[in-house]
Amino acid sequence: MRSEGYKQAPLFISDNGASKGVSRVLLTEQQINARVKELGQTLTTDYSERDVVFLAVLKGALYFLVDLIRNVDLPLTVGVTSIERSLVDGEYNISSTLRDSSMIEGKHVVIVEDIVDTGHTIAALIKSVEEHNPTSIKICTLLDKVSKREVDVPVDYLGFEIPPLFVVGYGLDYEEYYRNLPFIGVIEDANWDPVSDLIAKTKESNS
């Protein structure tokens, strides 16, 4: 599917509130909503009269998933999977755990991700899903950092291709913060630490 480009949003980020620490907006709420609607319409056409399961990767993809399936005008089911990363013999090992593997056997599966970058995570997830004999597997991701790719993985439905920036918002986090932002923002200050900032503010308010 054709990738949508992004436009530099002429927005300034407040020094306070949920967006504190975010330097600029990469994708606005309006841009995201419009693209998600388009993806939903395309999926509606492609999966007409098919038994389809939308499989979301916890936690970040849940935000994208909820908005996406609202725009898919079909009977469908939803599943979730979690990803675990571990260091084994000096190498990262990635494994996935399906909450209900029986629901995907013989079904058309659309794996919903918030972002694909190196490709290692999505490759491990595809391998895990294949073990449960689905009829087909397609990948739908909101964001794709193609320039960071280390493993060749298919992206069938794409929201936006973005440059190799550290992005947060709309499910994407930094130390579990920023998931609730309605836009995709960029953090450019490598020294910014939301946890330390919150602790400092708590101490100030209690003093």
Is it the case that residue 124 has pLDDT exceeding 90? no
Q: Tell me how many helices (H) and strands (E) the chain has.
A: 4, 9
Is it the case that residue 180 has pLDDT exceeding 50? yes
In this prediction, residue 86 has a pLDDT band, given cuts at 50, 70 and 90, of low
Place of tokens 């087909």: 136
Give tens-digit pLDDT for 135-150. 999 999 999 999 999 9
- Please report the pLDDT score of residue 12 as a whole number: 43
In this prediction, residue 82 has a pLDDT band, given cuts at 50, 70 and 90, of confident
Catalytic residues: 117
- Beta bridge pairs of residue 27: 184
- Please report the pLDDT score of residue 10 as a whole number: 38
Nearest to 171 by CA among 158, 161, 159, 185: 185
CA-CA distance, 131 to 112, in Å (whole number)? 18
In this prediction, residue 61 has a pLDDT band, given cuts at 50, 70 and 90, of very high
> Domain 29-163 is of which CATH architecture?
3-Layer(aba) Sandwich (3.40)
